Amino acid sequence: MARKGQSVAKRTDRLRHPGPQDAGRRDLTAYLDTSVLVSMFSNDVHTARVTRWLQGQPEIVLSRWALTEFSSALAVQSRMRKLEDRTRRALEIQVDGWLPSRTVLSVQDSDLIEARTLVRGDVRLRAADALHIAIVIRHGGALATLDAGMAAVAADLGVEVIVP
């Protein structure tokens, strides 16, 4: 785990923006946070970039927590009338059809304990994001996120971060 005051240079070394320089590089398993998952299945400003990045990923995992947040994000969009209910249901069915070929990690008590430890520290981190980071710390691999704030904190904590 990184210490308070870790240099920005070390943080940026852990943040990767995939590109041609990554050709032939053996990637770590990528853990998808909710922001990436939402962009995969909805049509937002990041969808094309995320789709291109995913094509080169040999192994991706996600958690039951990411799926819960995904459903919550769709519900919020539906309540705000930014997403029709039938579209929301179709996206949920699409995700459910995609899941059987994926590794879905369960949330463990140790993840909740680690997440609480993280949010109690001197960092700007929501509990939901801390839980994603805790799962990545336990499982290993790299955190794939579109959330710049979470990416910065995760990198400061020594987690490999991919920003698709």
What number of CA atoms fall less than 13 Å from residue 145's CA on the CB side? 25
**What whole-number distance in Å separates Cα of residue 160 and Cα of residue 37?**
18
Per-residue pLDDT tens digits for 57-87: 889 999 999 999 999 999 999 999 999 999 9
Q: Please name each of the domains of the chain with its CATH number.
A: 8-162 (3.40.50.1010)
Core vs surface per residue 125-134: b (16+ CB within 10 A) or e: beebbbbbbb
pTM, 2 dp: 0.82
**What whole-number distance in Å separates Cα of residue 78 and Cα of residue 158?**
36
Amino acid at residue number 139: H
Residues with pLDDT less than 70, the chain: 1-27
Across the chain, what does the average pLDDT equal?
Answer: 86
